Each structure stands twice: as C-alpha cells, then as structure tokens.
Chain A
C-alpha cells in the first residue's frame, strides 16, 4: 500500500483556545480518518507544550471563504464610511470622556 491511502483521509482545520477568556485561533491543519482521530492528532500536533485548553477540529471542506480576487469589491462597502470611527468627529476644545 502506498502513501495514497492517507491522502483519502479528509483535511481538518484545527483551532486552539490558549486559555480561558481567549477565542479559538486557527493553528493549522491535519489529516485524519474521522473527528475522533482528528482531535487526538490535533492534541499531539498543536498542544505538546500546553498551548491550549480546548480544541476545535473542522472539516476543511465545511469552511466557506471569501475570494481574494473579489477582496476589494467585497469589502468596499466599509472603505468609504470613515464616520463609523469615533475619530471622524472633531471635538471642541476641553470636552472629555467622549
């Protein structure tokens, strides 16, 4: 049997929560036959030094991503709305806590 057998294992994206109070952050990916092995492998691969207290594994095929080619038009609606930032508004001299 060649290495091609492992290739049939799906790809999983791994997210690690480093400690309480932090969000899960993408750490990398791995191949595994199912979600149980994916979690075990993720533990061995991404948390050998106490890097996490919680893991998510997500089948890579289940992730829908925005396209980099359409990045500019896609995010364009936010580009010209500088008034969404508080710094857009000039404050009169002496006004605080605003």
Chain B
C-alpha cells in the first residue's frame, strides 16, 4: 500500500498496547495446549439423562478451566446468559459500523479512507463471527437481527452518540475500541469454546482499530492549533461514553456473579474500568491531550488512578435507545437491510438456477459433472 503513504506523522506504539496483544496470544496458546489426554479430562462418566450427573460433569469441566463445546450438556441459565451476551456483543459490532461509516466519504486522505473502510469491514466480520458462535447454541441469527430491528435487543451505549467531526473517528477508535479490547481480551479465555475462539479473532483485529485511532489522533495533535483543538474536543466527548462501556458498577450489576462463576466473564465491570483508565492515562500523555476529569490522579496507596465514574443514569437511558443518535442508528440499520433485499433475493435465485442446471445436466449425461466453482482444484483437492 505504498501509494497510500501520505503526509501523516507516524505515531509511536501506544504505551500498554503490547501487554494486551500478548494476553490475546497467551489465551490462544492456552486453549491449544489443553491436553487431550484422558487424565486431564473431567472425571464423571456420563449418565445422559440424569440432570444431577450432567450438572456435576459440567461443573467439573468449568472447574478444570476447560471449554464447554456446542453439543455438551449445559444448564439453561448458562445458555441464556451466553446468548444474551453474544447477542448484545454481535449487535454492537453490526450497529457499531455506523458512527465511523459516517466519515468514510469525508476522510481527509486516501490512506485514512482505506483504513476506515477496512475497519468498518472488520466490524461486520466481528458481528458475523459472533452470530456464528451464537448459532452453535441453536438460535438462528435472523432472530437476533429481527430483535435488533424491532428494538428488542440492546447494543453498546456509545454507539448512540454522534460522530461530529473527523477527530471523533480517532477518539472513538482510541477510547471505545480501547475499552472494548480491555473488556474483550479476558473473553478470549471464556468457558464457551466457540465464543472464546471468536474472541481471539476479534481481539487481534481490534488491536488494529485501537492503534489506527491512536495514530489518527497523533496526526491531529501534531498538526495545527485547530486540529489539536478538534482532537481535544472529541476526546472530551468520548471519554465518559468509553468509561460507561464497562457497564453498571459491579454493586448494581445483576449478571456479574453468575457470569464469573461460569467463567463466561473473568473480571468485574469495575476491575476492567480501572484497568482501562490505568492504560489510557499514559497514552493520553503521549498524545499530549487532557482527559476531561479534574479528579483524575494517581493513587499511590491503591497503585491505580482515581477517577470520576461515568453517569450511570445516563448510561441506562442511552442503552434503552435514548442516546442522541439512538433512533437514527436502528432506523438506518433497518433501512440498509431492506435496501439490500434485492441482493439477497438475486443471489438466492442465482443459486437456485445453478442447482437446476446442474440437476438437468446430471439427468442428461447420467453423470454428476459437478459444478464449476472456479477454485484452484489442485489446492482444493488437498
């Protein structure tokens, strides 16, 4: 992509970034190295229709820090919790394409435009990985999308805030994707196998999102006074929505206890929020921007930064769809889906036509000549 090199100043690696990437890789190695040897397998022999035995077996797998896989028995509440979390997460990726897509046509350079396109395409991909993981639990993804369009399904609150300037794309990526990574890296070790595997892919790609946001802000903070002011203004507006992404404080969270016990989640909302603040402060210093919290300061005793918590009442309102751009986001998603109907219909019709032709050819020649799918047969024959 040499032709896309432009006049930006390359940003250094954001402090704290490499630690998160290493954690993703460790989670991946951890899953791969799980011994498949009989002695490591959970003990209880199966008694397929005995609920207590099945529960004991499930508990043993969780206790041994092994993965639950799609066809394993699992408690109904575990399944319901996973579905709720996967749906909320997948929807956030799908609706989350919008705030930045808003700036694709107005990106300041070809390089930034190409990066933004790649990022938005990734978000669609993340939504699909997660819907695929959710479908292993026996739910159809169209159910999630219908619920989303009907406003029955929630997604991350920050998406309901508008992206007012170009700097918002940078601030949004640096702060909300940064918060997403802190939230999601521990999910690479989630107890549900398909979820954990999807999250490894998601997190690796999120690091690019996070990094490009930092890079876009770096270019602005090393630009003109007006560009610096624009970056600061965007950060002022995105800081608290990013903090709110970790959800209600643990004391008010209705789901934390069960999710932690089942190892779907590994840390409380408050622990993750604190971790995010601790990571952000040195990065903000490197950027030369101010985080909009007068009470933000290092607490020697705790070994963490003290900070002002986000307004949780506002969070609750925004999650319900009351954010400045809430109605717009869902309406846009519905409209885009309807506008794409002809593509889905055409591809279904084309597939049906090809099937019919292949069937006719088979009938005529008495042999299945297969369908030319235009792939390298040498490779595909493997």
Residues on A facing B (Cβ under 8 Å): 1-9, 11, 17, 23-24, 28-31, 33-37, 39, 44-45, 48-49, 53-56, 65, 67-72, 79
Contacts and interface: CB of A to CB of B under 8 A. Distances in A.
Given A69-B48, A72-B46, A36 B374 contact: yes
B354 A3 contact: no
19 contacts: A1-B338, A28-B129, A29-B132, A33-B347, A33-B350, A33-B351, A34-B354, A34-B355, A37-B351, A39-B373, A39-B375, A44-B125, A45-B128, A54-B376, A54-B379, A68-B72, A68-B73, A71-B46, A72-B45
A5 B341 contact: yes
B128 A54 contact: no
Interface in B232-283: none
A61 B170 CA distance: 43
Nearest to A15: B382
Given A1-B341, A5-B341, 6 more contacts: A3-B145, A6-B142, A7-B141, A33-B347, A34-B355, A35-B373
A56 B162 CA distance: 41
Contacts of B337: 3
B121 interface: yes
B42 to A, nearest CB: 10
B45 A54 contact: no
B347 A30 contact: no
A89 B103 CA distance: 68
Contact of B142 (A4, A49, A79): A4
A58 to B, nearest CB: 11
A75 to B, nearest CB: 8
A62 B43 CA distance: 32
Interface string B17-59: 0000000000000000000001000000110100000000000
B33 to A, nearest CB: 16
A45 B354 CA distance: 24
Interface string B353-367: 011000000000000
Contacts of B132: 28-30
Contact of B380 (A2, A5, A44, A56): A56
Contacts of A37: 347, 351
A70 B373 CA distance: 38
B382 A2 contact: no
Which 4 A/B pairs are nearest by Cβ-Cβ distance? A34-B351, A33-B351, A7-B142, A3-B142
A79 B41 CA distance: 12
A54 B350 CA distance: 25
A45 to B, nearest CB: 5
A67 B338 CA distance: 40
B8 interface: no
Contacts of A35: 371, 373
B71 interface: yes
Nearest to B44: A72
Given A1-B338, A1-B341, A5-B344, A48 B379 contact: no
B382 A17 contact: yes
A6 B344 contact: yes
Nearest to A34: B351
Given A7-B140, A7-B141, A68-B72, A33 B348 contact: yes
Given A56-B382, A65-B71, A67-B71, A36 B373 contact: yes
Contacts of B341: 1, 5
B158 to A, nearest CB: 24
Contacts of A69: 46, 48, 73
Given A3-B149, A39-B373, A24 B382 contact: yes
